[in-house]
A and B are shown apart, each in its own frame.
Chain A
Amino acid sequence: MLRYVIKRLIGIIPILFFVSIFIFLFVHLIPGDPARLVAGQDATLQDVEVVRQELGLNQPIHIQYFNFISGIFQGDVGSSIKTGRPVFDEIASRFMPTFWLTFWSMIWAVMVGLLIGVISATKRNKWQDYLGMFGAVSGISMPSFWMGLLLIQVFAVQLGWLPVGGLESWQSYILPSITLGSGVAAVVARFSRSSLMDILKDDYIRTGRAKGLNEHKVVWGHGLKNAMIPVVTMTGLQFGFLLGGSIVIETVFSWPGLGRLLIDSVAFRDYPVIQAEMLLFALEFILINLIVDLIYGFLNPQIRYD
């Protein structure tokens, strides 16, 4: 098991290497000239050229890439073109707000989604199922910006119970995490419903009932653990997506997170920040995948890590 984890961690290096090439190329393909943006609209061509040299953007692209990679190995991911601050600091200050927002959103979304999924699966084609799946379809279909604006309108503007946006206290988390989690809860509900419905047809479920176990123990004890694998896969993926910072929700709620940092950086063609942030997303996804694989082993003893 430990050997497996180490092997997987070492495997991350080549993956990140290839990912870095793609990120670098795509970032440089974004139309627009950062030198022009830094120098200002009124700057002369010569001024722009000077800025370009300062930023090292006049060098051939493979040299630029080499500088970027060697910087990473020296623990220096460069400085933001826009603010001049080290990219590391820029990202670090934005990471935690996004992480906690994602964390709390996932917590409630998975719990509520599972509950709805299990109830729907056990009350198949009854009103509880229809209600649950109506909620799930609504959760998936509602655009998050619209839901966010609606929540702000009702709970922040009209009722005045919760802050409109920004991050000041724990109350600031409530509306954005509802908005962010509702889609996840809906997907978890649908996945767990269909997965559990399949599992409940299995022979060992009948064995459980033949033992005299009550339905509660049959479903939660024997059914759910077997039904969790697709749910865990999906939850891991969602977690990865959300950790990247939801651009729409962070914009709607003026959230000081990675999503808004990315939007600002792209607008300013802030190459070092964009590259570092993309690389961070890739790393997050790889690590989450590893964690998901480890959870599989816990859920299903037939999975061996050799």
Chain B
Amino acid sequence: MTEKMLEITNLKTYFHGDDGVVKAVDGVTITVNKGETVGVVGESGCGKSVTSLSVMRLLHDTPGEIVDGSITFEGKSLLDLSEKEMRMIRGNEIAMIFQEPMTSLNPVYKIGKQLEEVIKLHLHYDKKEARNHAVNMLKLVGLPRAEDVVNEYPHQLSGGMRQRVMIAMAMACNPKLLIADEPTTALDVTIQAQILDLMRKLRDESERSIMLITHDLGVVAEMCDRVVVMYAGEVVEEADVLSIFENPKHPYTKGLLGSVPKLGQDLEKLDSIPGNVPTPANMPKGCKFAPRCEFAMDVCWKKDPSLLATNGNHTCRCWLYQDQEKILEV
């Protein structure tokens, strides 16, 4: 029996804006087992980042609110914890790496201070121990001249170096779960590969769970054990990484895979998925992907399909794979 590290069940995070309620995350269920890397994939605005911020309960200063569902971490219900208890978990048991290494470090403090802050807070080290630990973490993430870097400011480092610092900061308290929100998106391709190598190394060294949020299927293929595909605030498909790449079910997943260039393939033009992610104001009544789907049937416009297992652990939210009887009912 695999041990569940993080269990997000039927999570609904809504944003209250001037134009009404935006259902950024609408009934998402994701499980991350111990030692497992789960990729969460989808276009911009599909709710992947909001899901991760909901786990950390970091929706401060946004009009976002978790309205329903549960988030369980090692058996603890995170949504029932007080803000103080939640702070003990953030940066300590669950750490997060963000998309923007250039702006995620405070420009007015030295790297060392920013690293030591989290170390002192959770590990209760004194100043000297914290400094040693900070230098060791920087060495661990492969930063050259770690002893000097602690005395430098963020603007003196390159984007790749800053992302390494962010990773060092996230790993400093040896978290059980690492949430990486597009950790390589803002970086050069060569640096991307280095950062992924580093993350893989850090994962393999311990039984760490990783929730990797990305829109890059290449990153998913390299890193993940299991993949969750999100579209318009919902999970549309979930399977192990091989099944997703070899046997995608949902037309959206197929579209995503079709829009990735493959080595050795001689194509004039890549496939693309027509249209855009629906805006909250004109969210389709039935399946949210129906307006862009080449297989859309009558039933797709009428009712949103449920997430069903097609075989084993491979689930998919699409009428093409649902019971014929149920379709007739609708």
Residues on A facing B (Cβ under 8 Å)? 200-214, 222, 225-226, 299-302
Given A203-B100, A301-B153: A210 in contact with B106 (beta carbons within 8 A): no
Given A200-B61, A203-B100: A211 in contact with B118 (beta carbons within 8 A): yes
B103 at the interface (CB under 8 A from A): yes
Closest 3 CB pairs of A and B: A211-B91, A212-B91, A212-B90
| B98 contact set on A, CB distance < 8 A | 203, 206-207, 210
Q: Which residue of B lies closest to A201 (CB)?
A: B61
Given A203-B98, A203-B100, A301-B155: A210 in contact with B107 (beta carbons within 8 A): no
Nearest Cβ on chain A to B105's Cβ, whole angstroms:
6
| B90 contact set on A, CB distance < 8 A | 209-212
| B117 contact set on A, CB distance < 8 A | 211, 213
B292 at the interface (CB under 8 A from A): no
A249 to B91, CA, bound (A): 53
| B108 contact set on A, CB distance < 8 A | 225-226, 299-301
B327 at the interface (CB under 8 A from A): no
Question: Cβ of B169 and Cβ of A302 under 8 Å apart?
Answer: no
Give residues of chain B (72-105) contacting chain A, Cβ–Cβ below 8 Å: 84, 87-92, 95-96, 98, 100, 103-105
Residues on B facing A (Cβ under 8 Å)? 56, 58, 60-61, 84, 87-92, 95-96, 98, 100, 103-109, 117-118, 121-122, 153, 155, 166, 169
Question: Cβ of A302 and Cβ of B56 under 8 Å apart?
Answer: no
| A206 contact set on B, CB distance < 8 A | 58, 60, 98, 104
Nearest Cβ on chain B to A122's Cβ, whole angstroms:
10
A299 to B106, CA, bound (A): 12
A225 to B104, CA, bound (A): 16
Q: What are 12 sample pairs from A and B whose C-beta atoms fall under 8 A apart?
A: A202-B103, A204-B106, A209-B90, A210-B98, A211-B90, A212-B88, A212-B121, A213-B117, A222-B109, A226-B107, A301-B153, A301-B155
Question: Cβ of B96 and Cβ of A210 under 8 Å apart?
Answer: yes
Given A301-B155, A302-B153: A210 in contact with B103 (beta carbons within 8 A): no
Most chain B beta-carbon contacts within 10 A, residue among A208, A211, A214: A211
A295 to B4, CA, bound (A): 52
A214 to B118, CA, bound (A): 11
A110 to B91, CA, bound (A): 35
| B118 contact set on A, CB distance < 8 A | 211-212
| B155 contact set on A, CB distance < 8 A | 301-302
